Structure 1
Amino acid sequence: MRQSSVAFVVTVAFILFVAFHEPVCATNNYLWGEIGANDYKLAKDTVKKAFFVGLVQTKKYVFKQSDNLDALTITAIQITDKKKNNGATAELTSGGPGSKGATILFNSVRGYGINDVVEIWGR
């Protein structure tokens, strides 16, 4: 083989190695509803819970508005997972888009913590 052919084969082999062995960055981002142009950000909170070896961490996030007479209707809930790997899952257990409040349950991967940002939009 010529030197340029060897360099080409080595380069292709390296690219294939990186492509198949690079860890996949799987985050658990969620969007329930739709954020409209006229929507207001009602809340932005960070939900955190430290890891504990061998355990699944859970945390409940509750959004309530103080005055039901002036309460806005939720149009969207956006959750951004701040962990690059082994992020927590989120489940909307009550409320959400179309209602005045929401409850979200976060569950971590066993042995990992929770680090998510919750943004609630409404009008």
Structure 2
Amino acid sequence: MKYPTIVLFALAAYVLPALAGNDYLWGEIGANDYKLAKDTVKKAFFVGLVQSKKYVFKQSENLNALTITAIRVTDKQKSHGATVVLASGGPGSKGVTLKFTSERGYGIKDIVEIWGR
């Protein structure tokens, strides 16, 4: 009776991470931080191709610009989510550039939240 339970848990440990999305967090969201931006990054799938998209966040006033403390990317796809690379900027700077890359034959659907103070 114990062995089917162990097999079930081992199978769940193998399958569940494959079904989870690719969520990312750079930095830490503090109690005094403000949400600077919340955007959805989308690009439709195309059969047999890898999709890529660049997301750029810039603040309009450089003198009053807040410093980024955290960037959270939440993958809205249950499986085959896009990977994200922090290309430039990020926590400690005033702007950021993110590069999204999908799996072959799949699209991109992520939510980007940028926090700062």
TM-score by length of 1: 0.84
Residue aligned with 1:37, SS: coil
Paired position in structure 1 for 2:11: 20
Q: Which of 35, 39, 43 is the equivalent residue of 1:49?
A: 43
Taking the TM superposition and a 5 Å limit, the aligned residue runs for 1:1-123 are 13=4, 16=7, 20=11, 23-24=15-16, 25-123=19-117
Distance in 1 separating the partners of 2:10 and 2:20: 15
Q: Please, what is the CA RMSD of the aligned residues?
A: 1.9
Tell me how many residue pairs correspond in the alignment.
114
Q: 3-state SS of the aligned residue for 1:86?
A: coil
Q: Deviations over 1:58-102 (max 9, x none)?
A: 000000001101100000000000001000000000000000000
| Distance across 2 between alignment mates of 1:14 and 1:42 | 47
Distance 1:71 1:97 in 2: 13
* Secondary structure of 2:32's aligned partner: coil
TM-score, normalisation: structure 2:
0.88
For structure 2, the 5+ residue unaligned runs are none
Report the Cα distance in structure 2 between the residues aligned to 1:47 and 1:77, rounded to whole angstroms. 14
Using a 3 Å threshold, how does the CA distance of structure 1 residues 54 and 71 change in structure 2: closer, same or farther? same
Runs of 5+ unmatched residues, structure 1: 1-7
> Partners of 2:55 and 2:102 in 1: how far apart?
14
Q: Which has the larger radius of gyration?
A: 1
Shift of residue 20 of structure 1?
Answer: 2.3
